[in-house]
Amino acid sequence: QVQLVESGGGLVQAGGSLRLSCAASGSISSINDMAWYRQAPGKQRELVALITSGGATSVSDSVKDRFTISRDSAKKTATLQMNGLKPEDTAVYYCNADVRLRYSDRSSMYWGQGTQVTVSS
């Protein structure tokens, strides 16, 4: 019913930049929070950045001052601009959204399939 599709991952040298995009589609009435998570090999999935429906943002301390999250609510998209990338940023990045479906009074969490980001030293 809801699909989240990420794009923009890839291989970049340390200090470089990447821009991840997430597009939501399906029987969507509204989207509350949208977020980016990441999971490195052998580690737990962690929250990287979140943006509310009102545009308030928060980012983890590990990426503060380097990553910026934004969204276009009309287009149902979220973007993660990543600057000053470090090898420790290497992970699979997942888009997450709290979505209320049409004809529903409840919201549910949805995940994208993930996109690989690899930062070489």
- Whole-number Å distance between alpha carbons of 63 and 61: 5
Give residue-wise pLDDT tens across range 54-71. 999 999 999 999 999 999
In this predicted model, what pLDDT tens digit does every residue of 71-89 receive, in sequence order?
999 999 999 999 999 999 9
How many Cα neighbours within 13 Å face the side chain of 77? 11
> Per-residue pLDDT tens for 98-112?
999 998 889 999 999
* Predicted local distance difference test score (pLDDT) of residue 70: 98
pLDDT given for residue 88 in this prediction: 97
Q: Which residues pair with 10 in a beta bridge?
A: 117
100-97-64 Cα angle (round to 5): 145
Average pLDDT, the chain: 97
What are the C-alpha distances in Å from 121 to residues 16, 85, 87, 117? 11, 10, 6, 13
- How far, in Å, CA of 89 to CA of 118, rounded? 7
| Longest Cα–Cα distance in the chain | 49
Q: What is the pLDDT of residue 1?
A: 86
